[in-house]
Each structure stands twice: as structure tokens, then as C-alpha cells.
Structure 1
Amino acid sequence: MEFESDEAAKEFYIAYATRLGFCVRMNKSRRSRKDDTVIMRRFVCTKEGFHSKRVIYDDGKKKRKRTTAREGCMAMIEVVKKDPHGRWYVSKLVTEHTHHVPAFLMQSQSQLQGKVNDGDDNNNNNASISFGGAYLKSCSGNSNKVVRVNPFGEGGEAHGLLEYLKGRQASSPGFFYAVQVDNNSCVNNVFWADAKARMAYSHFGDAVTFDTTYKKTKYMMPFACFRGVNHHLQSVNFGCCLLMDETKGSYIWLFETWLSAMGGSHPPLLITDRDKHMEGAISKVFPNTSHKFCQSHILSRCKHKLSEAYLTHASLKSDLKGCVTGSASVEEFETRWEHFLSKYNLWDNAWLYLLYQIRYNWVNVYQKVSFFPDRFVSQRQESLNKFFKRNFNAKTSLMVFINCFDQDMASRREKEAEADFTTIYTKPILKSPSPIEKQAAEVYTRAVFDIFQEEFVQSLGYYVDKVEGDDQVESDDRFTRYTVAREEEGSVIGPLNFVSINTDDVQSRASCTCSMLEYSGILCRHMIRVFFTVGVRTLPQEYIFTRWTKYATTSNTDSNGLFSLNEGDRISEEAQQGAPDWERMVGRYNELCRDGVRFGIEGSVSQELYKVAKSALERAFAEVLNETDVQRKEQQLQQQQHSMSRLARVQKMQQQHQHSTSMPRLKVALPKFQLKKTPAARVALQEDTATK
């Protein structure tokens, strides 16, 4: 193979790499000793070689986390200039890669789950209309009967919203929406969720936040959304709604509709603002769900509820936040809370008294046993609030806002796709030769691994002591208790933590008093340090939560039991016997989409798997088309048989009718009529006879 120039060879190899799914960089070049012109170029895969070892100095400065994509790949092409006319020839070529070659940049994927039902709620005598089953009307005529102003009546916004929802569902059958109207046919509430939001819930629905804090528009309708945290620690949407009023009836309708859209799977944890109407609706719709209050929303009201003390004491808010989020134990929280009340003389404040009464629902130290990934993304959630403040004001029309929201969701999903690519295609720089750190880098996403690596590095500064004798407080003798503490110059710094572990069976879940594993799903520095002490060389699967791994969106099963949608959650045909035909069709469509997403992700890992998956998909599609053709022919045959049977019955009826009309008449001899022979008649008869 020859090229006109080295630049042409470079363009050719880049095009070749693009088709296969890897990137190229220039590795070497050589110049002529005669005229110093370039006579050799070598282009390699970006994963060629290894990252150079660097000395890391602990100077106290915060360093940017860097990653590396190099892992010793040998794929390359080398071209040399031998022709005096300037032509370049291939001297070396290696096509094999030492890594998987992604077939394409993976977009953010999730799965559809469950069947879609109509909302049947009749609270407050309101009708529930799912899938656009009714025509929306503005409030017109009989104005004396209308208690409030219809928010959708201005400028045809109701019709614009309905057309938008219909269009989204027409383009994606997995799109779900529901509209609630009142007795005057005015729109009360609207909910919608696209297919990706419903798929995301099936993967990351173990902790859901419902937020209604956004500013109201000129329509007096707050925008609210359900959201969670994905495996890249990014905020992910689970559905949106527009609420006309924040009453218990509206919340019940909304929660039941959202639950129907999400396949009937209740969230283990639901985080909301404090609202008595919302609390009543949650207790009815989600009786087994753990309900917590949004901590950031409560702390944001500090300025309003403690205005006098807030203005005179600049440190009040930081002290309150430190007490709520920085306490390591219940005893420490109680002590710091009392100190806070005494310092600012707030013992008689009714708002703080109420917060203390509900402390189990919002203070960190009381929520350690609950999985709470929202703690990692508080700053990321604030960016969502800024978006609404920027795009939602008194002059914003409804459809303009919805279009802006769709663009923002598309941007967020693109960032998720970029995070997927970074996680799969690059490797983080390890800070030790430990197999535990290497294992974590291979299974966790990049964002989660950064947290784990920080805990791993910090664990090196802790000391472990085994608890002996009477201090062994564990009721189970199989477990051994260790104290883990950080020491400097012989004194303990920070809290003293206790780790309990069964050294005979590390598969049994160990525990730490900091409870980081329970509320975050990530090992704490104390447990990592104890693992080093007892000789654990690799992390058991019991300590790796599937929802934080690279494969969170390719499997429905979470071995840790925190959250899973398994085969038992699929909707069987028997369970859908009483459902309408269209509803059963949507359920089957959702299950096929779920299987298709998993098939696509697994089959795109490498070029070889892509070929296998593509071939299998073509065979399966051919079988589906063949079966469709067979069913069509059988249906046509049945229709023909039915038509022939009907025609035969008609012909028989016609023949019977013709037989009845063409039947010959029977001739019956009638008796002759004879005149009575009176004298006059005899004379007349005689005269007649004489004449003849």
C-alpha cells in the first residue's frame, strides 16, 4: 500500500480507526541524515504504551484528578519514504488491539419496566384521562360556575400542551402522559415522563426526590419533577408535572399516576419538602416507602424563620449546618444542638422546636441506616434549581419553558453519555499497587471511583486495634471488633470508629459505626483499613453495589438487595387478561424495549460482539417477519373461509327462496255449477236446444 504523502497516510489511518472505533495519535518520526527531511512516520492507538510513573509530593495543594487511556496496545501503522518521487509505503502494520474497541459512543440507556395503566383516581370527583383520551377544553361560558381562572385558557396553551404530548407519544410509544380535569372540563394537573425517564427509574429508583420548590408562573402552576442519582453521581429525571393546586387530592392523583407510569414499583426512599398535604398523600399511596425531608430546603428557610438572630449573627447558618451535617453520633448532635440554642438564645423558637421533633426525618446522624445517595449530589441538584430560576418567570409562556426543559434534559443526557464513554474508554491513575484499588478502578464508574480512591488513600493514615476481653460487645461471637482512629504525635484526631468483621467469612457483611457503606453504598476508610489488617486482598461482591458500577444499566439484579427489578416484575400475559388490547400491547412493547437496550449495550462492547449481535438480530428479525407473514396468511385464509362459509349460507337461503316461489300449482277438480231446473228454466233450455 502506498500514499502520496505522510499526511495522506495519516488521514487514511484516522478514517480506518474511526470506522473501527478507536483513536489515533502520532508516536514516532525519523529524519534523513542527508537533508533532514522526514522519512518515517508511526501512528498508534491512543492506548499504546503505559503512563509514566510520577513522584507525588504531598505539599498540601489540591491537585486536579487526571486519567490515562494507555494500557499497552500494540495496534499501529508505520510508513516510510523510499521513493525518490516522494511516495510513502507501509513498512509495519499491527491490527490487533489489546482492549475492547467500542463500536460507537454509547448514549445514556435505561429500560422500560412494567405495564402502563390508566389512572383511575376519582379523588375530589375529578376525572383522570390517560394517554390523551379526552379533548381538553378551555373555560368558556357559564363563567359564574367557574370558581378559579383556568391557567391554560390564555392563548390556547392547553391545546398547545395537548398537541405537544400527543406528538411526543406518537414519536415514542414509551412516552407516558396523563391529564386531570375538573367538573368544568378545566385542566387541573398534568404529568408526563418519556421512555428514558421510565428506563432510568428501573435502574436508579432506589432513592427518589420529589421537588416542588420552583417558582410559579403567571399561570399560578408550580412545576415539579421526580429525580434521582445515576451511577455517575448525576441528577437524572424520572418524570415531570404541572400542578394547579397543592392539595392532598392533587398529590394523590399525581403519585398514583407516576406510580402507574413507573410500572407499579414503589421507591424504597422518597425525599420531599415539608408539606402536610403531601405527607398525607404519601402515607396513602406509598405506605411502605421511607419518607424523608429535603435537608437543603429546611436549611434554606433559616434566614426567614430566624431573621432577627440571622441578621445579628453571621455565623448562625454555618453553625446550624455544622450541627446537622457534621455530627458523627446522636450524642454529639444532641450536645451541639443544645449549644446552638444556648449560644443564640433560641430555646423558645417554635420553628426550631418543630425541627427537633422531626429530626429523625432530616438530620444526617439519624439516617445512617438508609441508602441516601442524594448527599453526594447536593451541589449538582442546585444547578437544576438555577435552571428553573433562569427559564421560569412571570413572562415565560408554558410551551417556551417546556422546550427549554427538553433542551436541558437533552444536554444532561449527553453529559451522561460522555461520562459513560470516559468510564469505558479511559482508566484512572492509581495511587498504589494495591489489588483492591485496581479492582475498584475496573468496576466502578469514574465519579464513584474518585470517592473510593479518596477513602482508600485516607485509610493509610489510620491505626487499627483489636478489641479484647470485656470490650467485646458484639452479641455474635463470630465477629471481631476493631477500633480505627487517626493519630498524630500520639494523640487521637477525630472520632473513634468501631468496625465489626467476621474474619472466618468475609462474605458476611462487615459494619462500621460511621455507616458510610449503608447510606452511600461505598466502603469507608475505616473498613478498608481493617481489610488490610485482616489480609483481605480483593473486595468481596457483598461490598460492591451494582448501581455504582459500569454495568448498572445492563443488569436489573442488585445482589446487595437495595433495589432490583427482576424477572418477577415482568407483566405476564395471565396478569393482563382483563386489560384492554392496547394496554397489553404497550406492556409487551416495554419488555421488548428493555431487552433490546440490554442487547444493544452488551453487543456494542467490541467489534466482534457487534458482528455476533448484528447477525443474531438479523436472524431474529427475519423470524419475526416470517412469523408475521405466516400469521397474515392464516388470517387471510380464515377470512376467506369465513367469506366462503357466509357465501354458502347466502346461496342456500337464495335456493330455498327460489324453490318456494317456483313450486308447481296443484290442479283440483272443482264441482260443476248446475242451475236449478225451474219451469222457466226448462222452457229456456228447450228453446235453446231447438235453436241448435
Structure 2
Amino acid sequence: MSGKKPISILTDQDAAMAKALLSEWPETCHRLCIWHIYQNAAKHLSNAFEKFKNFTKDFGRCIYDYEDEDDFINAWNNMLEKYNLKDNDWLRRLFNIKEQWALVYGRQTFCADITTTQRSESMNSALKKYVSYKYDLLRFFQHFQRLVEDRRYQELKAEFRASQSSPALSFPVEILKHASNIYTPEVFKLFQDELCKAHDCVLKFNGEIGSISKYEVIPHKKYWHHTVTFDSIDNTVLCSCKKYEFAGILCAHALKVLSTRNIKNIPAQYILKRWTKNIKAKSTKSTCNVSSENDSKVEIVRRYRELCRLHTQLATRASESKDAYETAILGLNNTLRDVDACLKKKASQEPTQVIPKTTSASKLNEYICIDDDIIKVRGIKTKTKVVGNSKRPKNALEKLTKKKKPRNKEECALLEQEPDSHNETIHMPTQSQATMDISQQYYIRTHNTLSNYQQGPTSMMNLLQAELPQEEELSLLSSEGLDLLNSELTCSAKTHDMCVQDVE
């Protein structure tokens, strides 16, 4: 919040939060959520709500309607006596903190016409659509950034619609046309509703003293009146309901008096900038004077975002016409030259930092050379290199159980036919099966050796001898297996002779 404290804040009836707000923000107006008060009233006053039909109306009037403190206290005591609630402990505790929920005590403080924490609850609901309690801190901020970007995009669309369209007027009067040109669509709807209510109000003139006139305005279907004073010198209008002080827009009672005084436009002093369409375009005031003494990097990020926001608005508005575009380009070029001159002047005034010869590699990485000016950048850390292999060494069992990679499709097919060691029972092969397996493996190895033989016959026999079964494999062969192996060796020798003849 750039060091600013809120004017008012709304919470539920949490005692710890109230104590913290009083100690940290004593000047902030602490209000209680009206919705939570009604929820607690439904629990503690369920008999009164069920038994008496008018109790809800009388309880609501104590919260909203009264403008004078004495009238509020009298109405509260009458309600307790009427419904026999004088001994109710919850109502007694609620009355002790009446300054935090009764509008008679809070109308003079700006609260944007907010009386509940519903906006906060709706924001919590929107946040739950993007993040989950299962996320770690990094994933939380990544998805939270998505939420911020989506909200800003919706804001941009609303700004575009407000700048390219005009709201429909309920009736064509000058003050309503003026409101449609300055207010955002949402605030314009609120103003239009107040203007419609003003036509149904009854106005009574109570006299005039100098330039100040006093009126009594009775709302439609109400038996009480509001006192409105008007100053003809500067068109100042004040109403006892204090809606402008509380919500930021003129009430129906004040608009009734302005209409009677033939005021066609909203007085400038009653137009809050926060409700206008062009608030961002007019907000060119830099906030660089608010600095962060604890962390300079936070200040750099804040200035960068502020400059990006202003230049985005400038590009959006300047692109609408050629003259505006040329003016913006000329101004940006001049600004860029001024910024360069300012940075060079600052660099010349500051003592140049010399890098010592004995500085280590990690220290050298903290210096960046830009335009022959050495600037030391703090916070950049170099990751230390880890010497050696980070893989865990394998034990003897893992080395023995490691399978060789198949060399061709035939061996892959044989491996697929082998039973799964995890899911099937292991059966020891018989001697005949072992003989066939060794013979097939030797046949496959021999076939691959012949197919890959492209270097001449001189090394052919050496290759075939390398593919011969090992001694432990021969021990498993029977007489039939040895005969089969001899026939295969004879065939391989004949193939070798044919290859030699082809070469010669």
C-alpha cells in the first residue's frame, strides 16, 4: 500500500483482530460486517425472529436508518422493551460496541458504501479457483500470478467498453448526460438510481440565511425527513444522511435540491476521481517519493512497474491518431535523452569502483560493465560446481542382475518369451531345452557376424571364433547338442570359403 494506511476496514467480530487493528492502526475506522451481525443475531435471537414479525424491521432500522445518536439510543431501548429483551446478554455486548456497526456513528467516514465483507469473501472464492492447499510456495505464486493477470485483463476490457460506448439514459436530462461522460458504467448506474429516487422525494423550503438555504426532503413512502443545506456561492450541498461522505456519490435528497436550484451539472467538488473513467490516464503523478528503506530491489521493481503502466496507457491513447502518435514519439525521444544525461551525470559523480586483481571468480560475477561504467549488482549468486558423479554407485547384486541390451530383433523376441521374474514362477530348464537355447543363441550370433562382415575375409575366422559358446555353456550340451553345434560350425566354415573365393 506504499506506506498508506486504510481509512476504514471491515471485519467480523474477531477479538484478536480487533486488538491488532487497534494497536497497529489506531487512526483507522474499524467497522463490523453487518452480514455477520445478522448471522449472530439469528443464533442468539432465534425466538424473537420467529415469534415477532416486526422484529427484523425494528432491528434493521437501528442499524441503518437513524441519523442522530439520541434517536438511535431511544429506538434501541424501545426495541428491548417492546420485545422483552432487556436481559439478553448478547444484545448487551453488541450495544457496547455500537460505534463499530451502527451507521449513525460511521456515516461521516468514507467506506465506498460497503457495509459487509462480501467483497473479501468473493475474492477468496475466486482465489480458490486458481490455487490449492496442496501447492508448494513456488506453484502457489505461479497460479496467483495467473489470477492477477486475468483480473487485470478483465479490467482492461471494462475500460475499453467504457471508453468506446455510452450507457443508456433512463431519461435525457443534462445532469445525467454529464454523469455518463465522467463516471464509470457501474458508478453511473448508482448515480442514475439516486436521480430516479430524487423525483419521488417531497421537498420543503425551511428558510434562507444569506447565501445558505435550508430544505427538508422526505423520501418516498417514508415518514421521516432529511435536512439539506445549499450554498449558492459555490454550489455546496450538504445532506444529513451523509451518503456522499460514506459512499462518494450524491444522494437523492441532494440531487433533488440541485434540480430545484436549476443546477445542470454535478459540482466539481462532488466528483471523486476514483469513480471517473479516465482516472488512470490522469494519474501521472509519480509515486517514487515513497521509498523502501529496507530493500532497494523492491524499489526498483516498483518504479519499473509504474513506468510500464504509464507507457502502456500512453501507447494506447497515442495510437488513436497520427498527431498524437508524433507528439508521443517526440516526447519519448526527449525523455530518453534526458534520462541518459541524468544517468551519466550520476555515474560521473559517484566514485568508480575498481575490481581488485585478487578477486575470485564469484566476486567477478557480481560486476556488470555497461557503457564502460562498472556497476556492482548485489544479490547475484553463482552456483558452486559439484565435482564427481552424482549417481549412486551400484552394488554387486545390481551389477550381476543387469541384463545385456538385445542386439537385434531376434534376441528381443527371445527375451519377450522369457517369464517375468516378478509375476511368474521360475522353472529350471531341462538339458534338452538348454541345448536348444545355446544352439539358437550361437546361430543368431553367427548370422549377425556374417551379415555385418564387410571388412574382408582375413578377420572372418577370428570373428567366428569370438562368437563360439563359452566353456560353461558347452558343459550344458548333450551329445545331440554337440552334433548340432558341429554342423553349424561346418556351415560357417563353408560360408567363409565362399566369401574368400568372392574376394579373390
Per-residue CA deviation, residues 131-186 of structure 1 (Å, 9 max, x unaligned), is xxxxxxxxxxxxxxxxxxxxxxxxxxxxxxxxxxxxxxxxxxxxxxxxxxxxxxxx
Q: Deviations over 1:496-545 (max 9, x none)?
A: 12210111332xx3201111111111011111121122222222211111
Q: Closer, same or farther in 2 for the Cα pair 1:376/1:427, shift >3 Å?
A: farther
SS of match in other structure, 1:604: helix
**Distance in 2 between residues matched to 1:596 and 1:405, nearest whole Å:** 20
Structure 2 equivalent of residue 247 of structure 1:
none
In structure 2, distance between residues paired with 1:537 and 1:429: 18
- Greater CA deviation, 262-271 or 346-355? 262-271
- Deviation, structure 1 residue 446: 0.5
**SS of the residue 1:428 aligns to:** coil
The corresponding residue for 1:197 is: none
- Cα RMSD for the two superposed structures: 4.0
Aligned counterpart, 2:463: none
- 1:600-640: per-residue Cα shift (whole Å, max 9, x none)? 32452242334533453355346646776898899998859
Q: 1:416: which partner in 2?
A: 155
Alignment of 1:8-19 (within 5 A): none
Aligned to 2:302: 590
Q: Indicate the structure whose relative CO is greater, using CA pairs within 8 Å and at least 6 residues apart.
A: 1
What corresponds to 1:521 in structure 2? 248
Any idea what SS the aligned residue of 2:9 has?
strand
Q: 1:591 to 1:280 in 2, by over 3 A?
A: same
Query: Taking structure 1 as reference, are residues 414 and 585 closer, same or farther at Cα in structure 2, changes over 3 Å only?
Result: closer
Matched, 1:510 2:237: yes
Q: Which residue of 2 aligns with 1:600?
A: 312
Q: What is the CA–CA distance in structure 1 between the aligned matches of 2:307 and 2:145, rounded to whole Å?
A: 26
Q: Does 1:481 align with 2:214?
A: yes
TM-score, scaled to structure 1: 0.44
Q: In 2 relative to 1, CA 496–326 (structure 1 residues): closer, same or farther, beyond 3 Å?
A: closer
Q: Which amino acid aligns with 2:240?
A: T
3-state SS in 2 of match to 1:605: helix
Among 472, 477, 501, which residue is 2:230 paired with?
501
Distance 1:546 1:404 in 2: 32
Distance change in 2, residues 1:439/1:602 (3 Å):
farther
Q: Secondary structure of the residue that 2:265 maps to in structure 1? A: coil
Identify unmatched segments of 5+ residues in structure 2: 358-504
SS at structure 2 position matched to 1:455: helix
- Is the CA contact (8 Å cut-off) linking 2:64 and 2:102 kept in structure 1? yes
The equivalent of 1:451 in structure 2 is 190
Partner of 2:4: 265
Q: Bigger shift: 413-422 or 338-347?
A: 338-347
- How much has 1:448 moved relative to structure 2? 0.3
Mapping 1:220-235, distance limit 5 Å: none
Residue 346 of structure 2 corresponds to residue 613 of structure 1: no
Aligned ranges 1:352-371 → 2 under 5 Å: 352-371=91-110
Stretch of structure 1 that moved more, 589-598 or 453-462: 589-598
Q: Deviations over 1:372-418 (max 9, x none)?
A: 1152886555533545788899x755657766655544443333222
Partner of 2:289: 570
Alignment check: 8 A CA contact 2:215 2:227 kept: yes
Matches within 5 A, 1:106-255: none
Q: What is the SS of the residue equivalent to 2:224?
A: strand
Q: Which residue is 1:680 aligned to? A: none
Give me the whole-angstrom Cα distance separating, in 2, the residues matched to 1:321 and 1:483.
Answer: 24
Q: How does 1:11-50 map to 2 (within 5 A)?
A: none
Judged with a 3 Å threshold, the aligned counterparts in structure 2 of structure 1 residues 389 and 307 are, in CA distance, closer, same or farther, namely farther
Alignment of 1:295-310 (within 5 A): 295-307=34-46, 309=48
Q: Which residue of 1 aligns with 2:32?
A: 293
Unaligned stretches of 5+ residues in structure 1: 1-261, 558-565, 644-692
Match of 1:530? 257
| Counterpart in the other structure of 1:200 | none
| 1:283 alignment partner in structure 2 | 22
Cα distance 1:595–1:494, how it changes in 2: closer, same or farther (>3 A)? farther
1:441 aligns with 2:180: yes
Structure with greater proportional strand content: 1
Q: 1:544 maps to what in 2? A: 271
Cα distance in 1 for partners of 2:115, 2:275 equals: 12
Structure 1 residue aligned with 2:499: none
The aligned amino acid for 1:444 is Y
Taking a change above 3 Å as real, the CA distance of residues 343 and 635 of structure 1, as seen in their structure-2 partners, is closer
Counterpart in the other structure of 2:427: none
- Distance in 2 between the 1:396 and 1:372 partners? 36
Residues 66 and 104 in structure 2, CA contact (< 8 A), matched pair in contact too:
yes
Q: What displacement does 1:455 show?
A: 1.2
Offset at residue 598 of structure 1 (A) = 3.3
AA partner of residue 155 (structure 2) = E
Cα distance in 1 between the residues matched to 2:115 and 2:87:
34
Q: How has the CA–CA distance of structure 1 residues 320 and 379 changed in structure 2, closer, same or farther, with 3 Å as cutoff?
A: same
**For the residues of structure 1 that align with 2:115 and 2:163, how far apart are their CA atoms?**
22
Kindly provide the amino acid, as one letter, of the partner of residue 570 in structure 1: N
Q: TM-score, normalised by structure 2?
A: 0.59
State the 1:284 CA deviation: 2.7
Matches within 5 A, 1:286-435: 286-307=25-46, 309=48, 320-327=59-66, 330=69, 333-375=72-114, 380-384=119-123, 386-387=125-126, 396=134, 406-435=145-174
- 3-state DSSP class of the match of 1:570? coil
Partner of 2:497: none
Question: Are residues 267 and 521 of structure 1, via their aligned partners in 2, closer, same or farther at CA, if it must alter by over 3 Å?
Answer: same
Post-superposition Cα deviations, 1:208-249, rounded to whole Å, max 9, x if no partner, equal: xxxxxxxxxxxxxxxxxxxxxxxxxxxxxxxxxxxxxxxxxx
Q: Secondary structure at the match of 1:495?
A: coil
After superposition, the C-alpha distances for 1:19-40 in whole angstroms (9 at most, x for unaligned) are xxxxxxxxxxxxxxxxxxxxxx
| Cα pair distance change 1:272/1:343, threshold 3 Å | same
Q: Does structure 2 conserve the Cα–Cα contact (< 8 Å) formed by 1:604 and 1:610?
A: no
Give the superposition deviation at 1:357.
1.7
Residue aligned with 1:346, SS: coil
Bigger proportion of residues as helix: 2
3-state SS of 2:195 partner: helix
Identity among equivalent pairs (%)? 26
CA distance in 2, matches of 1:428, 1:591: 36
Alpha-carbon separation, structure 2, partners of 1:605 and 1:267: 32
Structure exhibiting the larger radius of gyration computed from Cα positions: 2
User: 1:466 maps to which residue?
Assistant: 205
Give the residue type in structure 2 aligned to 1:485.
I
Cα shift at 1:291: 2.2
